[in-house]
């Protein structure tokens, strides 16, 4: 979940780019190659993950990498080419938790416009309590709602997803939650104790 390098040179021919409006009616400043005329668009990225659950507990991973090393997260990472959102979520759960899961439906879609990301979490039923986390994870552990380390959650998207999960669990019905995270007014890290998210649909 790192930011990308700025586009200073053309990926196609290596020429230094210009930053200007394209000639095709586009209204946004783009990085454009003056030699081969390639327009270098920059678009949001998807982060895909799961809410792995068993009984009244969910699986969290203690991060072994920056950002937010030493904080807890749901297994998630950048969606890759050649996979669906669900396949990416399943892959990340395997990589970060080594968990045996059965994939369930989409649970949350969280827009994070200030970092150019969309986070998507799927429900996933754990088939075993044996976990084999990869190198990105210090420890994978099951937590009941009362035990969740709310002030040590790595990302706000994970926090709001967990909150919605336990709310839905209490009412006995799981929806799909579309949530917009507003730009934080303070520093993004550490996350603020009070959520500033608003659910636009549920």
Q: Is 67 in the site for a copy of itself (CB under 8 A)?
A: no
Query: Site residues for a copy of itself, window 13-52 (CB under 8 A)?
Result: 13-16, 25, 28, 38, 40-46
Indicate the DSSP class of residue 192: P
Q: Is 111 one of the binding residues for a copy of itself (CB under 8 A)?
A: yes
Per CB under 8 A, the list member of 58, 76, 79, 153 interacting with a copy of itself is: 79
Strands of the sheet containing 30-32, edge to edge, are: 18-20, 30-32, 39-40
3-state secondary structure of 65: coil
Residue of 3, 5, 173, 187 that binds a copy of itself (CB under 8 A) = 5
Is the preceding peptide bond at 108 cis, omega within 30 degrees of 0? no
Segment 188-191 long-range contacts (CB within 8 Å, at least 24 positions apart): 188/114, 188/115, 189/67, 189/68, 191/153, 191/155, 191/156, 191/159
- Which range binds a copy of itself by CB under 8 A, 12-20, 150-158, 161-169, 188-196? 12-20
Q: How far is CA 86 from CA 8, 55, 80, 103, in A?
A: 34, 22, 11, 8
Enter the tokens of residue 134.
């990869």
106 lines the binding site for a copy of itself (CB under 8 A): yes
Shortest reach from residue 58's CB to a copy of itself, in Å: 19
Cβ closer to a copy of itself: 121 or 148? 121
Residue 132 near a copy of itself by CB under 8 A: no
| 140 lies in the binding site for a copy of itself (CB under 8 A) | no
**86 three-class SS:** helix
Question: Where on the chain is the footprint of a copy of itself (CB under 8 A)?
Answer: 4-16, 25, 28, 38, 40-46, 78-87, 105-106, 109, 111, 113-114, 116, 118, 134-136, 176, 178, 180, 200-201
């Amino acid at each position: 979940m790192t930011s990308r390098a700025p586009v200073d040179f053309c990926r196609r021919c290596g020429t230094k780019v210009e930053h200007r409006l394209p000639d095709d009616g586009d209204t946004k400043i783009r990085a454009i190659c003056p030699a081969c005329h390639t327009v270098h668009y920059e678009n949001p990225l998807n982060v895909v993950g799961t809410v792995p659950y068993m009984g009244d507990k969910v699986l969290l991973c203690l991060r072994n990498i920056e950002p937010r090393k030493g904080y807890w997260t749901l297994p998630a990472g950048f969606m890759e080419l050649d996979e669906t959102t669900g396949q990416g979520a399943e892959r990340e759960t395997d990589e970060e938790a080594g968990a045996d899961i059965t994939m369930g439906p989409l649970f949350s879609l969280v827009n994070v416009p200030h970092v150019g990301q969309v986070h998507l979490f799927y429900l996933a039923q754990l088939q075993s309590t044996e976990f084999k986390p990869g190198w990105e994870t210090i420890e994978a552990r099951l937590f009941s709602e009362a035990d969740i380390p709310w002030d040590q959650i790595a990302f706000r998207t994970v926090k709001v997803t967990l909150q919605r999960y336990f709310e839905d669990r209490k009412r006995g019905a799981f929806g799909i939650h579309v949530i917009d995270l507003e730009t934080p007014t303070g520093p993004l890290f550490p996350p603020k104790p009070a959520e500033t998210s608003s659910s636009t649909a549920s």
